[in-house]
Amino acid sequence: MFKRLYDWTLSLAESKHSTWALAGIAFAESSFFPLPPDLILLPMSLAQPKKAWFYAGVCTVASVLGGMLGYMIGALLYDTLGHWIIELYGYGPRIETLREFYARWGWAFIIVKGLTPIPFKLVTIVSGLLGYNFPLFVVLAALTRGARFFLLAAAMNHFGDFFRVKLEEHFAVFIVGMLAIIVGGFWMATHLV
């Protein structure tokens, strides 16, 4: 089963629409979608290691644009959609504490959370909700998301053959690991922030 899933993932990564799919997932993950773009960025970079830098750039731009949408959700739609998302992650009762923290450490919150498996949409919506400086938010989002995706691209570009062999041998472990990271990120977002 995992071998077929692996083959399908690589064929998807090599399709002519894969760049648009990557951009769509990166955009959506920064504002409302639960799955990270790494799930498609990794196989695309493995399938074409020389394009890993291009794919990282696509992810970065799309993620920042999606982050801008997430910011707008927090700033303009908090009473409806934004409030629902904040409640979903359990931040409702802690919003005033979060507001005080953000006033002092918002820049660090954006940088750290952009590099971790904690869903970035929480950062973007909370930034808009709390009225964080928008131009600074965009710069910090670009830095942190770019660092994450370009580090992954560098690893795939330089060690792609090694990762490809290991991924083929242990694809099931990779899938379970990615799911654990996603679930762990959501857990951290609701319990540790």
DSSP labels for 48-91? -GGGHHHHHHHHHHHHHHHHHHHHHHHHHSIIIIIHHHHHHTT-
Judged on CB neighbours under 10 Å (0-12, 13-18, 19+), 100 is exposed
Question: How many independent structural domains does the chain possess?
Answer: 1
pLDDT tops 70 at residue 7: no
User: Average pLDDT in the 168-191 region?
Assistant: 66
- Tell me: the pLDDT tens digits for 58-94? 999 999 999 999 999 889 887 777 677 667 767 677 7
* 116 torsion bin: left (phi>0), alpha (psi -120 to 50), beta (else): beta
pTM metric for this prediction: 0.77
Note whether 34 and 179 are within 8 A (CB). Answer: no
pLDDT tops 90 at residue 27: yes
pLDDT at 5: 57
Range of the domain at 160: 2-191
